[in-house]
Amino acid sequence: MLFDVQHPAKGDRNIVELGMVDKIEIDGNKVTVTLAFPKHRDPLAEYLVGSTKAALVRHIPGIEAEVKTIVKEDTSRKPAGLNLGLEELANVKHIIGVASGKGGVGKSTVAVNLAVALARIGYKTGLADADVYGPSVPKMTGTEGMMPEAFKDGDKEVIMPLEKYGVKWMSIGYFARPEQALIWRGPMACNALKQMILQVRWGELDFLLIDMPPGTGDIHISLVHDIPLTGAVIVSTPQAVALADVEKGVNMFRNESIRKPILGFVENMAWFTPAELPENRYYIFGKDGGARMAEKYGIPLLGQIPLVQSIRESGDEGEPEALSSGPEGEAFVLLAEKLAEAVKNL
């Protein structure tokens, strides 16, 4: 009968399904039902109390019904079975989301190299690969096939990040075989990626970068909602299409319910430099798209990374270009310095 009491603001769902029935007590012919509400002064509380009482009286002749209310924090949106707090992030100074409007613009390349460059200039750095659909950190860092250690700390399961090139790495890719397509959706993807961040013993860090999945969907909203991001860096290529996607990315972080500072843009593949002509710059995607975008949104252009074969190759080989002392390595170091500065100025 309690199944008959529908919540008018929650579609057809009833108070049982919604987990609102906190307690049922029976004493002689008196039935007391306690309904839990997620917040104080719920505008529908009175209505639901009334209809619950009516349902009880209607279905059980001769009883005396009482309906009480209590306030309980909404737990329905938290992943079932996961009890993840923010303890593991307690000693992390800045959490930076690396985002892009669409895939293939070099978000992971930039995130991995930026992490290595931050470590190179002395910052304690970690990177969480939250791209549950296409985790590329294991490959780009040459840590494929390694298995992070997991252990119990009290009643909590913790995962140790892998360490290489002076950076702490974590990726969903360590837990799935490379040929296994990760086609998780909705809550499962959300859980997995929150685990990649909240269950990891990061220890003391100056920067934790998060390689976010491409796009601007529910996962992002949920991630940005639950993880205390300092701000975001948006990666784009100079093409008009990519820039249109950037707009979505910008709007996502500026969304009323999110409001996270965008620390800057990174224009990837800003120009092409062939290995044999290292002084030449060919603007194959058009010139200064990133600068125009930066101006349009009042967001600084933190850095420009050229399209060079060695960046792709070093990614494929698991030895990020940012380790090198060449001009590309320097471009990432410069980007790292700019980011550190942007964070200081917040």
Ligand X SMILES: Nc1ncnc2c1ncn2[C@@H]1O[C@H](COP(=O)(O)OP(=O)(O)O)[C@@H](O)[C@H]1O
Binding-site ranges for ligand X (CB under 6 A): 100, 103-109, 136, 214, 268-269, 305, 307-308, 311-312, 315
- Residue number, 88 or 131, with CB nearest to Mg ion: 131
**Least distance between ligand X and beta carbon 306 (Å):** 6
**Least distance between ligand X and beta carbon 39 (Å):** 39
- Residue number, 94 or 107, with CB nearest to Mg ion: 107
Task: Determine if 236 is a binding residue for Mg ion (CB under 5 A).
Answer: no
- Residue number, 139 or 194, with CB nearest to Mg ion: 139
**Least distance between ligand X and beta carbon 324 (Å):** 13
Among 51, 69, 108, 216, binds Mg ion (CB under 5 A): 108
Q: How far apart are CA 346 and CA 344, in angstroms?
A: 6
Three-state secondary-structure class, residue 135: coil
Q: How far apart are CA 336 and CA 333, in angstroms?
A: 5
223 binds, among Mg ion, ligand X, none (CB under 5 to 8 A by kind): none
Q: Which tokens in the block code for residue 330? A: 């320097």
Task: Determine if 51 is a binding residue for Mg ion (CB under 5 A).
Answer: no
Among 136, 191, 236, 304, binds Mg ion (CB under 5 A): 136
- Residue number, 136 or 236, with CB nearest to Mg ion: 136
100 binds, among Mg ion, ligand X, none (CB under 5 to 8 A by kind): ligand X
Distances (CA, A) of 232 to 197, 220, 247, 283: 16, 12, 14, 26
246 binds, among ligand X, Mg ion, none (CB under 5 to 8 A by kind): none
Query: Which long-range CB contacts under 8 A does 332-335 form with residues at least 24 apart?
Result: 332/113, 332/114, 332/116, 332/117, 332/303, 332/305, 333/117, 333/120, 333/121, 334/303, 335/110, 335/114, 335/117, 335/266, 335/302, 335/303, 335/305
- Residue number, 131 or 328, with CB nearest to Mg ion: 131
Amino acid at 34: T
Range in contact with Mg ion (rule: CB under 5 A) among 33-41, 71-79, 102-110, 277-285? 102-110
Torsion of CA 195, 200, 206, 212, to 10 degrees: -30
Residue nearest to ligand X (CB): 106
- Residue number, 141 or 268, with CB nearest to ligand X: 268
Rg for the chain (alpha carbons), in Å? 25
Q: Which tokens in the block code for residue 89? A: 């992030």
**Least distance between Mg ion and beta carbon 129 (Å):** 8
Task: Determine if 113 is a binding residue for Mg ion (CB under 5 A).
Answer: no
Task: Determine if 171 is a binding residue for Mg ion (CB under 5 A).
Answer: no
Burial letters for 208-231: b for 16+ Cβ neighbours within 10 Å, e otherwise? bbbbbbbbbeebbebbbebbebbb
- Residue number, 36 or 305, with CB nearest to ligand X: 305
| Burial (CB count <10 Å: 0-12, 13-18, 19+), residue 160 | middle
> How wide is the angle at C-alpha 231 spanned by C-alphas 230 and 235, nearest 5°?
145
**Least distance between Mg ion and beta carbon 210 (Å):** 12
CB atoms within 10 A of CB 244: 12
Q: Which tokens in the block code for residue 58? A: 């209607």
33 binds, among Mg ion, ligand X, none (CB under 5 to 8 A by kind): none
Phi, psi of 204 (to 5 degrees): -90, 125
- Residue number, 79 or 303, with CB nearest to ligand X: 303
314 binds, among Mg ion, ligand X, none (CB under 5 to 8 A by kind): none
Task: Determine if 273 is a binding residue for Mg ion (CB under 5 A).
Answer: no
Positions in the binding site for Mg ion (CB under 5 A): 108, 131, 136
